[in-house]
Amino acid sequence: MAEDESPLLFNRDSGILLHPSSLPGDFGIGDFGPSALRWLDTLFESGQNLWQILPLHPTGYGDSPYQSLSAFAVSSLFLSPDSLYESGLITKAELSSFILPKRAAIRYVDVQTNKLELAKRASCRFFNLADKSSLRIGYEQFLVRQSEWLLPFALFSALKSKFGGVAWTNWPSAFRDRHVDALSNAEKELSEDIRRIFFEQYILSKQWGSVRAKAQELGIRIIGDMPIFIAHDSADVWCNPNLFRLATDGNPTVVAGVPPDYFSATGQLWGNPLYDWGAHVSQDFSWWRSRVGKLMDWVDLARIDHFRGFQSCWEIDGTADCAVKGRWVEAPGKEILDIFLDELGAPLPLIAEDLGVITPEVLALRDAYHLPGLRIQQFAFGSDVMKDTFIPEAYDSNCVAYTGTHDNDTVVGWFNSQPGVSSTRSADEVEKERAAAMSYFGTDGSEINWDFINALYSSEAGATLVPIQDVLGLGSYARMNTPGTASGSWRWRISDDLALEPSLTRLKELTHKTLRGLAVNKINTYE
């Protein structure tokens, strides 16, 4: 159990929420190359010491990073062609050939085709390097260190491609049920694909390692994200069916979601299989130990998405078509957090996403481990029963405050929103929220995003995080995700024609004035 006293994770820190996929660049999607390094310079120059990202894992259904093909692997879409060129693994002509037309939104099909061809060419040249080259020596060491998850993920990915991308429950039964002979033969047949996937994961680790090294040099901490649930169509569930509540055909008997909420009158049916907690207990939570350890190899801190699932989960029948009918079932949160404490030490480098239907039991679990919770400023002006906790005056030194998260509309979009669009609000409720915000800030709302940001930074919150869209004052078209929708999310990118400097200069001045970020740590020198 956690100690009674624990140092806090934050001390008037501040930063920006921006997923690497949204970074600008020539290759259709942000990556782990020069654009990420330039972004760190941008954060430093604007006085910020936090960079929050979303899960880095390979995206699955709906291109969502929260429906990932693996809880351990990283998406090959983040491979940087520039960095591969600098390493001598592609030619200058090849580098130019991977440039895609400039677009404001990610076209995942085009990017996936592009990055697969990139990986094939680079891996071919890589495996022709001398065995004693530094890259090849590092690769062999990587294979040993990551052996627990790497081959299972690579085999899963290769088989998924072989069978046309369908879910593993629709594969021939010998592969669905992991017959030893079938898998052994598949390893031989698909060895070239498997080796390419090994290469991708190795290069991704090296490229991100350069990003992390620069972040540490600049005094910037990276906040990652750990979705509490795992996608059903994933290497994790295929390889460990005993850890999840599945029928004999591999399909989930019960799935996760949330009851009706702000975003949907019928709740959110996520479809993730629920854990067989008894199986995890019998294995001393070894899978969770590996998972949290791997995540913390990549980031400095992590947000636990849907933290309340560690106390209880909304259990829905696996055949249901919406989330209205369900029930709360208890989860062994104390045991899991004790494991995390054992693995990571105190203070736990974790943030509890404590939004939604939150009970005293959930809050007690969060507070027992001194985890900072979330405060979403948009929720301060509506009918949420907890709205008084979302107003800036209520923030304290052990909370992380946002204008909105990746699930919210942008502040400008929220302020100008229409009833029934992306939420369950009526026309009257929309107007009341707008009026409440203008009254609270004493403004006409013409710069509502800066009204929000000024209040956020002036608060007592231990950390403040603002989506880059709100810093730039963008409308709903720049929204990252709309919960409850099957497609169309996760595509927004910073366009080359977006002028970042004026807004970030203004943010820098505010950061200095409110003694946040690098200012409070005296790392940055302000003119």
List beta partners, residue 301.
223
Distance CA(82)–CA(38), nearest Å, equals 13
Clarify whether 305 is annotated catalytic. yes
The DSSP code sequence of 6-20 is ---S-SSEEEEE--G
Which residue in the list 31, 236, 261, 353 is annotated as catalytic?
A: 353
Which residue in the list 63, 305, 354, 409 is annotated as catalytic?
A: 305
Which residue in the list 31, 200, 225, 407 is annotated as catalytic?
A: 407
- Residue 28 backbone zone (phi > 0: left; psi -120 to 50: alpha; other: beta): left
Contacts 24+ apart (CB under 8 A), 116-120: 116/76, 118/79, 118/81, 118/84, 118/90, 119/76, 119/79, 119/196, 119/199, 119/200, 120/196
Quote the DSSP letter at residue 409: P
Distance CA(110)–CA(98), nearest Å, equals 11
| Best CA proximity match to 386, nearest among 363, 370, 418 | 363
Distance CA(79)–CA(89), nearest Å, equals 12
Clarify whether 407 is annotated catalytic. yes
Distance CA(378)–CA(376), nearest Å, equals 6
Question: How many angstroms separate the Cα of 481 from the Cα of each of 64, 232, 452?
Answer: 9, 20, 20
Neighbours of 496 (CB within 10 A): 10
Clarify whether 353 is annotated catalytic. yes
Q: Residue by residue, what is the 3-state secondary structure of 416-442?
A: CCCCCCCCCCCHHHHHHHHHHHHHHHC
In the chain, count H helices and then E strands: 20, 12
Contact assessment for residue 70 and residue 58, using Cβ atoms and an 8 Å cutoff: yes
Contact residues for 506 (Cβ-Cβ < 8 A; gap 6+) = 450
Residue listed under structure tokens 């969060």: 366
Active site residues: 305, 353, 407
